[in-house]
């Protein structure tokens, strides 16, 4: 790399986001873990929440002169309810019960800060419908441990994919980083694209 080509910093330690970037031929020069309070503000709408958190993550990482910062945030929304990461197994059961047999939205926001310090964001909104889940299916999923640490309590790239009756939008956004929006933002920031 020459100094004229910006160095990409991924403001995340998520292995899923790193794998998704690799799918489109992008390898960050470094990773940085942003320290951000991810609690929703009282009455905050899910779209505004996910954009705010993605932007806060990008700004939480120190940027050198020739670096571009990339951050993302993903949340699940049922109506105006934000389903973050489950606190425990009971919370995971509650979330899966809410999602059972109904449509919900996966909102995945991307923020890129270019070498001039300008922040730009894009939002991917994916509609997903789960089949009705039986108590046995919920119990088995909770026991698998797969849903802990995941927005909405499930990983679409895992066992939960078998519950999806319908998906309209970005599959990669549901995994954790919408690649179409990400590629567009990185290109506008001067990051070389494959």
CA-based radius of gyration for the chain: 17
Report the alpha-carbon distance of residue 129 to residue 102 in Å, rounded. Answer: 5
CA distances from 88 to 14, 41, 74 (A): 20, 21, 19
Beta-strand pair 7-10/67-78: parallel
Q: Looking at the annotation, which residues are catalytic?
A: 73
Q: Which of 97, 93, 87 is nearest to 142 (CA)?
A: 93
Exposure string of 29-43, with b = 16+ CB inside 10 Å and e = fewer, is eeebebebeeebeee
- Residue 55 in contact with residue 70, Cβ under 8 Å? no
């Amino acid at each position: 790399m020459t100094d004229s080509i910006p160095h990409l910093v991924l403001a995340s330690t998520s292995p899923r986001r790193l794998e998704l970037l690799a799918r489109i031929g992008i390898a960050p020069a470094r990773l940085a873990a942003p320290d951000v309070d991810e609690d929703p503000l009282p009455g905050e709408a899910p779209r505004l929440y996910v954009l705010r958190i993605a932007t806060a993550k990008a700004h939480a990482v120190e940027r050198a002169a020739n670096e571009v910062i990339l951050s993302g945030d993903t949340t699940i929304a049922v109506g105006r309810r934000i389903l973050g990461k489950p606190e425990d197994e009971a919370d995971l059961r509650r979330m899966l019960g809410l999602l059972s047999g109904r449509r919900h939205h996966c909102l995945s926001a991307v923020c890129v800060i270019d070498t001039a310090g300008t922040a730009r964001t894009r939002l991917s909104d994916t509609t997903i419908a789960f089949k009705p889940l039986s108590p046995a299916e919920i119990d088995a999923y909770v026991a698998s441990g797969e849903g802990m640490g995941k927005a909405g309590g499930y990983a679409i790239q895992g066992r939960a994919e078998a519950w999806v009756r319908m998906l309209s939008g970005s599959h990669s956004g549901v995994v954790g980083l919408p690649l179409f929006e990400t590629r567009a933002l990185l290109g506008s920031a001067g990051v070389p694209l494959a």
